[in-house]
């Protein structure tokens, strides 16, 4: 689905009443660039903006025309970025600074190619709330420019459907970001709404919710968005974390400075490798005495060491090891 289709589809689900059908009293028109201009008959338009009644009427008619176009989703307006708030359900994890700088540079050189979609803020008159376009908004704010936006009257459900549809287009929105978005949606909306918003089958949604439920938020935050890491890998990590003390082991490993310095996807792969049980056959060796007597067979890998003593060939040594194991351990502990 293209961005053009996203805007078009909203027309069927989020139609805005024509301007003449909406209540007129006290309606602020921020798109005119004058927050003091409204249609409250108890105020004098001339006194409010120091213009003639005919000028005010003309501006008011122009506002109705613009808002009628907005109702159709055909007009793009310019907004101050400070007047625009993020969606009430975030979909992105903190991104890499390098990605943000690339987007800033692109918009600086080429301008804003695609408008963001916003709705009038349901709780803060005169402000707006993003349905999609958060990264573009942040980049444009960093440049100190005004942002181009399509303004639509959207319910909460319509907003997250639009947000989810846009997410499906983003190649750089990762699996875990989508999974977290689905998890946040389920706290407010039915699964039918979530599947519609994210174009998911029921089984896909169940897998996403299972992954988020089984991996602690702190670990996901420490890993990051992990671009390129898909469903199977995240499920594998969730399975590995089910092992005893695995979550503690993962947290300690991710806290290492050298691990935090890795790119997010590499950090994920390193963690999975760290948590996996050692694979492959164990290294083997033989412990022999000075006279060539075979005392024990050694087997070892990263996780364990096995010492096998053949009592038929070295019975005294076997008894000696058994008698002195506790003393050897105590001697080892005394060095700490």
Question: ∠ at Cα 256 (253, 258), nearest 5°?
Answer: 120
Write the CB contacts of 10 (distance below 8 Å, at least 6 apart in sequence): 73, 117, 152, 154, 158, 162
Residue pair 197/161 in contact (Cβ under 8 Å)? The answer is yes
Task: Check if the beta carbon of residue 112 is closer than 8 Å to that of residue 140.
Answer: yes
pLDDT tens for each residue of the chain, 336 residues long: 444 454 555 544 443 333 333 333 333 333 333 333 334 444 444 444 444 445 545 545 554 554 455 445 557 889 999 999 888 776 666 655 667 788 888 899 888 888 888 888 888 888 998 887 888 888 999 999 999 998 888 888 888 777 776 655 554 578 998 898 888 888 888 888 888 777 788 999 999 999 999 999 999 999 998 988 999 999 999 999 999 999 999 999 999 999 988 989 999 999 999 998 765 455 567 777 777 777 788 776 666 778 888 888 788 888 888 888 888 888 888 876
Task: Identify the pLDDT of residue 322.
Answer: 86
Sign of torsion, CA 4 6 10 13? positive
212 is written with which tokens?
Answer: 């988020």
Reported in sequence order, the residue ranges of the chain that DSSP labels E, i.e. its strands, are: 77-79, 84-85, 116-120, 128-132, 147-151, 283-288, 294-300, 305-308
Q: Which residue has the tokens 């009293």?
A: 25
Task: Please tell me the predicted confidence (pLDDT) of residue 74.
Answer: 55
Beta bridge partners of 129: 85, 119
């Amino acid at each position: 689905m293209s961005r053009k289709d996203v805007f078009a589809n909203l027309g069927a689900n989020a139609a805005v009443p024509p301007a003449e059908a909406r209540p007129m009293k006290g309606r602020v028109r921020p798109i005119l660039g004058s927050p003091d201009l409204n249609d409250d008959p108890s105020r004098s338009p001339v006194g409010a903006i120091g213009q003639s009644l005919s000028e005010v009427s003309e501006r008011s008619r122009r506002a109705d025309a613009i808002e009628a176009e907005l109702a159709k989703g055909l007009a793009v307006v310019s907004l101050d970025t400070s007047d625009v708030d993020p969606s009430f359900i975030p979909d992105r994890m903190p991104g890499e600074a390098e990605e943000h700088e690339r987007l800033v540079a692109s918009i600086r050189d080429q301008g804003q190619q695609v408008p963001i979609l916003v709705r009038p803020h349901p709780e803060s008159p005169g402000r707006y709330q993003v349905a999609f376009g958060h990264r573009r908004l942040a980049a444009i704010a960093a440049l100190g420019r005004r942002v181009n936006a399509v303004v639509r009257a959207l319910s909460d459900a319509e907003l997250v459907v639009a947000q989810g549809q846009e997410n499906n287009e983003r190649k750089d929105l990762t699996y875990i970001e989508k999974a977290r978005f689905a998890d946040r949606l389920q706290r407010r909306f039915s699964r039918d709404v979530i599947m519609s918003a994210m174009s998911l089958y029921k089984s896909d949604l169940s897998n996403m919710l299972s992954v988020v439920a089984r991996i602690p938020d702190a670990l996901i935050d420490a890993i990051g968005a992990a671009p390129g890491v898909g469903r199977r890998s995240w499920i594998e990590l969730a399975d590995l974390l089910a092992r005893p003390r695995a979550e503690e082991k993962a947290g300690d490993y991710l806290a290492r400075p050298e691990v935090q310095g890795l790119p997010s996807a590499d950090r994920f792969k390193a963690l999975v490798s760290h948590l996996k049980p050692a694979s492959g056959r164990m290294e083997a060796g033989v412990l022999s005495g000075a006279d060539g007597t075979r005392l024990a067979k050694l087997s070892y890998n990263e996780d364990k060491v096995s010492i096998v003593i053949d009592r038929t060939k070295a019975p005294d040594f076997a008894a000696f090891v058994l008698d002195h194991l506790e003393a050897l351990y105590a001697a080892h502990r005394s060095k700490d």
